[in-house]
């Protein structure tokens, strides 16, 4: 029986299992993600991330990410920050990394102090706005805002953000979203920060979602609820999101942390 070394990491509580695919092959990552993500019978996580060399010269490394239900995701902002920390502290000591994802190449800028990556800024690219996918989820919710950050998000501003479990589950699979959707429930606080809870497509409620934080900040700016820079307060921590006018790119800054290393049977 083959044992696969892994590292568990989290970004604001959004936890994944990371495998260095440059050294260790996971033949069926979808099945592995389901088994290993189980919080009672496995390692426990929001999914599985494979770190590999890049097949194209435009990037230094590549990532593949599989949700806890085995579906493959396009991109994860929290996971990309963790990859930056993993690579710098264990593989590749450069403070800027080009990471190939299914949503294109993302540039990671690492903020390092005495050899330790304290935070990472990710250039998440330009948001994609598709007005035709907006719909009135219900009379009580009102209209949300659709924003794609390489994966689809539907942001609803409401005082009742704790309906994330009940309503998020329903909206993920709404007919308006043929590929399913990530759902954010957001509330602007008195200090100007935006308290956000997220239902992630394929994973359910998570402690944080990097692309979801970006989508929330963009939706807040579009609807006049915030400016171009926002503090997004998620269940697991705070992310700083800047939607720059100069290049229309969204930049996300936040922490990443190691949890533990181990081995698991394949």
Catalytic residues: 76, 209
SS3 content of the chain, % helix, strand, coil (to 5): 20, 45, 40
Q: Which residues contact 83 (CB under 8 A, 6 or more apart)?
A: 18, 49, 51, 61, 63, 97, 99, 108
Residue 13: closest CA among 73, 81, 112: 81
> Structure tokens of 16?
């994944």
Give the H or E element holding residue 97: strand 96-101
How many angstroms separate the first and last alpha carbons of the chain? 7
Asked if 105 and 59 touch (Cβ cutoff 8 Å), the reply is yes
């Amino acid at each position: 029986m083959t044992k696969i070394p892994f590292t568990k990491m989290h970004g604001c509580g959004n936890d994944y299992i990371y495998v260095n695919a440059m050294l260790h092959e996971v033949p069926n990552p979808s099945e592995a993600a389901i088994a290993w993500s189980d919080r009672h019978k496995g390692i426990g996580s929001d999914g599985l991330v494979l770190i590999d060399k890049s097949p194209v010269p435009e990037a230094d490394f590549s990532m593949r990410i599989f949700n806890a239900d085995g579906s493959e995701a396009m991109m994860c902002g929290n996971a990309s920050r963790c990859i930056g920390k993993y690579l710098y502290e264990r593989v590749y000591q450069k403070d800027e990394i080009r990471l190939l994802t299914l949503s294109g190449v993302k540039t990671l800028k690492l903020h390092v102090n005495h050899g330790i990556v304290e935070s990472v800024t990710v250039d998440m690219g330009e948001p994609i706005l598709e007005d035709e996918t907006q719909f009135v989820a219900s009379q009580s919710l009102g209209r949300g805002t659709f924003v794609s950050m390489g994966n689809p998000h539907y942001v609803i501003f409401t005082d009742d953000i704790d309906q994330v479990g009940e309503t998020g589950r329903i909206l993920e699979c709404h007919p308006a979203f043929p590929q399913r959707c990530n759902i954010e429930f957001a509330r602007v606080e008195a200090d100007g920060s935006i308290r956000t809870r997220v239902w992630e497509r394929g994973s359910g409620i998570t402690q944080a979602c990097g692309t979801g934080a970006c989508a929330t900040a963009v939706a807040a700016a579009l609807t006049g609820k915030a400016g171009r820079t926002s503090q997004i307060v998620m269940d697991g921590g705070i992310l700083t999101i800047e939607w720059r006018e100069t290049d229309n790119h969204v930049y996300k800054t936040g922490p990443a942390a190691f949890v533990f290393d181990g081995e698991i049977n394949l």
